[in-house]
Amino acid sequence: MATNLSNLSEFDAGSLPNASEMRVGIVASEWNSEITDNLLKGAHETLLSCGMKEENVRVHRVPGSFELALGAQFLLESSQFNGVICLGSVIRGETAHFDFVCQATSKGIMDVGLKFNRPVVFGVLTDDTIDQSRARSGGIHGNKGVEAAVTVLKMIALQQSTENDAWLM
């Protein structure tokens, strides 16, 4: 396994943009809350550690990962956010339900970002077991919520830099 004994969430805070003027929404699934609560904690702490003001982070819950895309769309329709982080956990069961939920969730999140031309980050764990999810939500492999927060900051900064480049106009 590529992630064997690796913490994938380590980052250099000095290499990230200052987030003091950014506004980020976080949509987190209630389903598998043991996992999604840890993802949310990691994302929230990372945003604040990069200078984001507490009042510029808004957290909203949706029932499950399938609903993350619509939750992100609701936030972006308000025009208050530079980007949205979607946090969820889908754990494989004995039926094809896992495949349908994962496919719809990933496509839905991508579609919302493209529709609104804003970063919408996929912070959804799609694991075979609960132990794999624990390892990726604050365990040995780090915290996917941290990675999602780093990603949204980088993408917001990229969008802002391209909007400010005169030669692109």
67: containing domain:
23-158
How distant is the alpha carbon of residue 29 from its chain centre?
11
Q: Is residue 152 part of a domain?
A: yes
Told to judge if 141 belongs to the known catalytic residues of this protein, a careful annotator would answer: no
Q: Is residue 167 part of a domain?
A: no
pTM over 0.75? The answer is yes
Between CA 71 and CA 27 the distance in angstroms is: 6
Residue type, 22: M
3 and 127 Cβ atoms separated by less than 8 Å: no
pLDDT tens for 24-77 read 999 999 999 999 999 999 999 999 999 999 999 999 999 999 999 999 999 999
47 and 153 Cβ atoms separated by less than 8 Å: yes
The CATH number of the domain where 125 resides is what? 3.40.50.960
Q: pLDDT-based confidence at 166, cuts 50/70/90?
A: low
Q: Looking at 44, 60, 97, 141, which residue is catalytic?
A: 97
Domains identified in the chain, total number: 1
Q: Is residue 5 part of a domain?
A: no
Average model confidence (pLDDT) across the chain:
90
